[in-house]
Amino acid sequence: MKKAHVCPKCSARKIWLIEPFRLVDDTLAGQPVAVVAHQTDGAGSFFRVPRREPKGVVDLYVCAACGYSEMWARDIEGLVEDPSRGVRLLDATGAHEGPFR
């Protein structure tokens, strides 16, 4: 859908692109959806409290005919693993390099 601009469900060729996807808030512009809203800048000392530092944004592709939607993340280079807060990197790189290829 992102590359071909064709809906994978109904084959329509009119796709709405909303970039970045935003949630309604009190502002006219709305709040962009972050990929990870709760990451911190890693700081945290006696004098400095860690600041919330949202990472990544999400673009939304919506089929104009059937409404099927896909979200695509970008600007995710700064993501940091934090399993205790639900952020994990599932890395299958090299998973097929065993004796059972």
| Rounded-to-integer distance, Cα 39 and Cα 35, Å | 10
Cis before 20 (ω within 30)? yes
Query: Do residues 76 and 58 lie in contact, with contact meaning Cβ atoms separated by under 8 Å?
Result: no
Residues numbered 23-82 forming contacts with Zn ion, rule: CB under 5 A = 63, 65-66, 68
CB of 71 to Zn ion, least distance (A): 15
Of 12 and 73, nearer to Zn ion (C-beta) is 12
* Residue of 7, 35, 36, 62 interacting with Zn ion (CB under 5 A): 7
Judged by the rule CB under 5 A, the positions of this chain that interact with Zn ion are 7, 9-10, 12, 63, 65-66, 68
